[in-house]
Amino acid sequence: MTAELIKGTEISKEIRAELEVRIRDLKEKHGITPGLATILVGEDPASQVYVGSKRKTCDQLGITSFHTGFPADVSRDLLLKKIDELNHDDAVHGILVQLPLPKHLSETEVLYAIDPDKDVDGFHPVNVGRLVAGDAVFLPCTPHGVQQLLVRKGIKTEGAHVVVVGRSNIVGKPVANILLQKAKGANATVTVCHTGTRDLASFTRQADILIVAAGRPKAITADMVKEGVVVVDVGVNRIGMTKDGKAILSGDVDFEGVKEKASFITPVPGGVGPMTITMLMMNTVRAAEMRIAK
């Protein structure tokens, strides 16, 4: 058996086409143009690339992009003042502060300062609580992208045993909560594994669906999965450079070995990655649609 690829690049395009229709309706029927504000502190190259990709996607979809850049030594008060301004700006429907932040700033304090109704990353404790309670407004982008890959590929989660490797607040915990809900595209039995799990392979071999966000290249090998498993690899690790200076990437799964046993598997790159920004756009459109009801 050689696994069928779950291509996030293709599914992302499908979702973006749907978003274009919703954005057009917002503009034509309600006079609302969705707006996303991004804040970048410092000049970290990777963060600059991420923010640039988000702004480019906004332009492609017809979402207004607002951007503020601060030097790495920006004061806490100035940053919080800017977030407060955006909270009260009716043209801004979503606010995203690019992480990581410099050490003198508290990520928790900064993220908690964002209006929960504009928290399109889904990190505010109000939105985390809504997710756990089964009444989510905004789902965190990468975990929601994982769910959409499964749903749109026709992979049934209902009654399936999903094993999640990783317990971060960004991926592991929220994806477990999403798939645990009594809802369409969820309703799974979920096991969460982590660095403290004894005999990890004994759990991963039980998985009907294995979601790996461990942050370690090729941590999951072929002997750790059963035949026919569905594998979603969230990891992106730089393991070397090509002769022409391009990064060689690896997921958290040994792709070459595991694909011979899996029924479906996400590639790295081109799997989960393209979904994250797309789900951010979906949350921004959702935030704009919520404005109509107010």
The neighbouring-strand residues paired with 132 are none
Please count the CA atoms within 13 angstroms of the CA of 285 that sit on its side-chain side: 24
Cα separation, 133 vs 114, in Å, equals 21
Does pLDDT of 251 surpass 80? yes
In total, how many domains does the chain have? Answer: 2
Q: Within this chain, do residues 169 and 66 fall inside the same structural domain, yes or no?
A: no
Q: Across all residues in the chain, what is the average pLDDT?
A: 95
Would you name the residues annotated as active-site residues?
A: 54, 98, 121
d(CA 39, CA 57): 16
Residue 45 has a pLDDT of 87
Could you tell me the pTM of the whole model? 0.94
* pLDDT digit string, tens, across residues 147-182: 999 999 999 999 999 999 999 999 999 999 999 999
Q: Are residues 248 and 151 in the same domain?
A: yes
CATH number of the domain enclosing 220: 3.40.50.720
pLDDT in tens, 257-291: 999 999 999 999 999 999 999 999 999 999 999 98
Dihedrals phi, psi of 262, to nearest 5 degrees: -80, 155
CA-only gyration radius of the chain, Å: 19
144, two tokens? 């929601």
Q: According to the model, what pLDDT value does residue 236 have?
A: 83
Is the residue at 109 inside a domain? Answer: yes
Q: Contact, 215 vs 188, CB < 8 A? A: no
pLDDT, tens digit, for every residue of 53-107?
999 999 999 999 999 999 999 999 999 999 999 999 999 999 999 999 999 999 9
pLDDT digits (tens, 9 = 90+) for 207-241: 999 999 999 999 999 999 999 999 999 998 776 77
More confidently predicted of 240 and 44: 44
Q: Within a domain: residue 125?
A: no
| Domain membership of residue 106 as a residue range | 30-117
Domain match, 186 and 262 both: yes
Across 37-55, average pLDDT: 92
Contact in structure between 255 and 268 (CB atoms under 8 Å): yes
- Tell me which DSSP letter residue 116 carries: G
